[in-house]
Amino acid sequence: MITPATLRRTVSAALEEDAPWGDLTSTALLPASARATADLVAREPGVFSGGEVFTAAFTLTDADAVVDLHVADGDRFATGDVLASVSGAARALLTAERVALNFTQRMSGIATLTAAYVDAVDGTGVRIADTRKTTPGLREFERHAVVSGGGSNHRRTLSDAVMAKDNHLAVLRQSGRDLATALREALGRLPHTTHVVVEVDRLDQIPAVLKGGAHTVLLDNFSLADLRAAVALIGGRATAEASGGVNLDTVRRIAETGVQVISVGALTHSARALDLGLDLRVG
């Protein structure tokens, strides 16, 4: 969920970035009394996300602007569908247009790509999750878009869970620390609600992770055969999560190995912005 504070702060910053001293073109050419209505129209099919962000871009520019959303976040749409309409002062509408589109196109692109992954694993019970590979400053928006597409959010920040990755394990080894002991000691210091994830890239690392009491074993870049072996070795004592080498061609086969979660960085770092347009109706 996008918090109201984040919504206002992020959209306001984008509007200021795009028009730091106002919209020179609209102010110079358009009468202040001019009114307009515009429709958000899909140029291609997809899954919608970013309705409240689209709305905020216009209402923060013109408090009297009226935005009507014709679809909800998570709804699928076809080419030519009218997704939203906005009415207000023409100057303000044109000032906010690019920011509104940039956010909505980006978020709908993420939602559409996420939905493709979710559809690909349909029936397996596997959860498709995002990662922290997000655009700095836009994490809440991008994570919201993943949920719009039917995906799940991983830990939101470094403060939310313990996630020991390869570099953490390398420092432990260099320090002469035993992984299982280090995990047990950490769990003893942390609140009992803290989730602990440990990333491994070899089967022989898994016993120590389980002995240490980790809640999730993140299986990074495992072959399909090794994923099946890892799931059997974990035996339900922790959640088995797969990552690395995941794309729309491989995700179904990965899901069928028995893992419970597949995390996909591409959902946020490689999603293409969807083609949406704002068609103006003057009057």
Q: Please confirm, yes or no, whether 8 is among the known catalytic residues.
A: no
Among the options 165, 211, 237, 252, which is catalytic?
165
- Given a contact cutoff of 8 angstroms between Cβ atoms, the answer to whether 105 and 274 are in contact is yes
Of 39, 52, 81, 220, catalytic: 220
Are the C-beta atoms of residues 42 and 10 closer than 8 Å to each other? no
Q: What is the identity of the amino acid at 174?
A: Q
- Answer yes or no: 185 catalytic: no
Cα-based distances in Å from 269 to 62, 109, 139, 171: 32, 11, 11, 28
Pinpoint the alpha helices (H) of 70-200: 90-120, 139-148, 166-174, 179-189
Catalytic residue at 165? yes
Please tell me which residue in 39, 75, 76, 98 is annotated as part of the active site.
98
Which residues, 6 or more positions from 198, have their beta carbon under 8 angstroms from its beta carbon? 163, 164, 169, 179, 183, 209, 212, 214, 216, 217, 218
Active site residue 211: no
Q: Which of 75, 76, 81, 133 is flagged as catalytic?
A: 133
Angstrom distances, CA of residue 4 to CA of 12, 17, 52, 110: 12, 20, 10, 21
Which residues are marked as active site?
98, 133, 165, 199, 220
